[in-house]
Amino acid sequence: MKKILITLSLTLITVASAWAQRFAYVDSDYILKHIPEYASSQKQLGALSTQFQKEVDGRFQEIDRLYKAYQADQVLMTGDMKKRREAEIVGKEKDAKDFQRSKFGPDGDLARRSNELMKPIQDRVAKAVQAVAEDENLDMVFDKNSEVMMLYANPRYNKSDAVVTRLGLKPGVLAK
């Protein structure tokens, strides 16, 4: 009988401790909107993206111009001339695609610049989330905007304002 009571007690303690886990969530979009550096970084990246896109568009417009000139002159060209012009157009098109990839690809200039600007902000937010979790003895903190599906979240577990405050910012006052 004592063994059963001890086993039952240990089982209840284990189950109770599993239920005692504390969860919370944050809204990373909300937090980032409070950080002035984030808005500034987004503007810089937007301007850089626009600049790169103009350069890429210029290259493809040049290729289009060369192709139209080739089509217009094609009847007057010898076979050798046609091959040279076609090779020139194909080469420029390859160069333009390579340039586009170097600017917009996963390892491109825009991605590198985005990482340079966003990494310090992300690190700062991660440290603030960790500090809030430790201060409030939380076991897990989810991001409402990540791939984790959250069908319901009680607002009392929303720790976004606590993270914004931990970052030294004022909750409810969005950066411009």
What is the pLDDT, as a whole number, of residue 10? 46
Kindly report, residue by residue over 47-68, the tens digit of the pLDDT. Answer: 999 999 999 999 999 999 999 9
Overall pTM surpassing 0.85 (yes/no): no
Give all domains of the chain, ordered by start, each with its CATH number.
22-166 (3.30.910.20)
pLDDT band at 11 (very low <50, low <70, confident <90, very high): low
| Tokens representing residue 151 in the block | 């069908």
Burial class of residue 37 in the structure, from the number of CB atoms within 10 Å of its CB (0-12 exposed, 13-18 middle, 19+ buried):
middle
The pLDDT, as a whole number, for residue 171 is 85
Task: Name, in order, each residue with C-beta under 8 angstroms of 142's C-beta and a sequence gap of 6 or more.
Answer: 23, 24, 25, 26, 148, 150
